[in-house]
Amino acid sequence: MSLWHVRIFLIVFVLTGTGPSLAASDLVPAPPSVVARAYLLLDAQSGQVLAEKNQDKRVEPASLTKIMTAYVVFQEIKKGNLKLDEEVLISKKAWKMKGSRMFVEVGKRVKLKDLLMGMVVQSGNDASVALAEHVAGSEDAFATLMNKYADNLGMVGTHYVNSTGWPHKKHFTTAHDLALLTRASIREFPEFYEWYRVKEFTFNNIRQSNRNRMLWLDDRVDGVKTGHTDSAGYCLVTSAKRDSMRLVSVVLGAKNEDARIAASRKLISYGFRFFETYELYAADEALTHMRIWKGEEQQLPLGLAETLYVTIPRGKYKALDPSMTIETEIVAPAVKGRQYGTVDVKLGAETVTSQPLVALRDIPEGGLWRRMVDNILLMFE
């Protein structure tokens, strides 16, 4: 790693989020040819997009909707509003659902964990509706929750009207949004994400296999979800891990099951073959200390609020060039988390990522004498 370069300006230009797709770089081959309405490949840790087509195009999600249904239920469990062993009363609406089912019976009570497994592994529409009604009272109310969580995650191209993915003209998403949701599910609920790799589940003496054939075809794959309707085509969200690198691929609107499998395998293999991911700087690690004026202390530690990962072409780690841009004059009070600059990481002329450089702790305003002295010193600065 080359030494830090520090650029100090009075005005800080802020670039947040990930950099442009490195797949377009001449450092690696072009992405594989994928036949689908839309697709996307990204690194789960850095968020770097490695390949895409129509990633922001609105499409039908079909049963990929259930990734969000599960995410909402996981959130409710985390908040303490639900327990895995509590029982859920099965309504007539849930029992009558068409399509894929786990075969619950109307009027019976089923443990919440069993319903989650029936939805995650068996893609049960009946389980999805039962969970939605249990959480929010009705599926419509649950869809409102789904949309609120989608907004929180920045899924700007998504709108839900049901918990199953049953076709509706106002029910849509994008490849990019599905990738955001999948990253959040993996990051926030690792203990529940393990269920997506379960290959079969038995309920009511009926054993059903996971519809995600990638679990059998690639040992690196540990999720996530299939989807299909006549109008949506064949869809698949895949996550795979090799060593410390995790990829997420989204394939939407393939012509058949074999096509969605082939597309997913191409994308995952491309990502692992030509890219690698590194953790550069940990969250809350002091990357530099800057003079702070008129404060109780004179040195303000600056760092990152979140761990910084980069995904780059293989063999290019030593060519990374990190730098910091910092405000020239920092005056107390400083508030933890407030931005005072940026951390930029370049590879050649290309910016890989740019993240906010923030205060790592509060520094309140100093006493009268400290403020008077620093006022004088600032006149000479």
C-alpha 161: how far from its chain's center?
22
What pLDDT does residue 328 have?
Answer: 87
Is 147:159 a contact under the CB 8 Å cutoff? yes
What pLDDT does residue 172 have?
Answer: 98
What's the pLDDT tens digit per position in 213-258?
A: 999 999 999 999 999 999 999 999 999 999 999 999 999 999 999 9
What tokens does 351 get?
């910016």
Rg of the chain (C-alpha set)? 24
- Higher-pLDDT residue of 330, 13: 330
The DSSP annotation for 44-63 comes to TTT--EEEEESTT--B--GG
Predicted structure pTM score? 0.89
Is 166:174 a contact under the CB 8 Å cutoff? no
What is the CB neighbour count within 10 angstroms for residue 155?
A: 23
User: Which domains does the chain show, CATH number per domain?
Assistant: 5-21+280-380 (2.60.410.10), 36-254 (3.40.710.10)
What's the pLDDT tens digit per position in 8-65?
A: 433 333 333 344 445 445 568 999 999 999 999 999 999 999 999 999 999 999 999 9
Distance CA 223, CA 40 (A): 16
Under the banding of pLDDT at 50, 70 and 90, the label for residue 366 is confident
* Structure-derived torsion over alpha carbons of residues 127, 129, 134, 138, reported in degrees to the nearest 10: 180
**Most distant CA pair in the chain, distance:** 82
What pLDDT does residue 26 have?
Answer: 55
The catalytic residue positions are 63, 66, 123
Q: What is the percent of the chain with per-residue pLDDT over 90, rounded to a whole number?
A: 88
What pLDDT does residue 8 have?
Answer: 41
What's the pLDDT tens digit per position in 293-325?
A: 999 999 999 999 999 999 999 999 999 999 999
The number of C-alpha atoms within 13 Å of 216 and in the hemisphere containing its C-beta is: 8
What pLDDT does residue 318 have?
Answer: 94
Phi, psi of 290 (to 5 degrees): -120, 150
Mean pLDDT of the chain: 92
C-alpha 128: how far from its chain's center?
22
Strand partners, 342: 325, 356
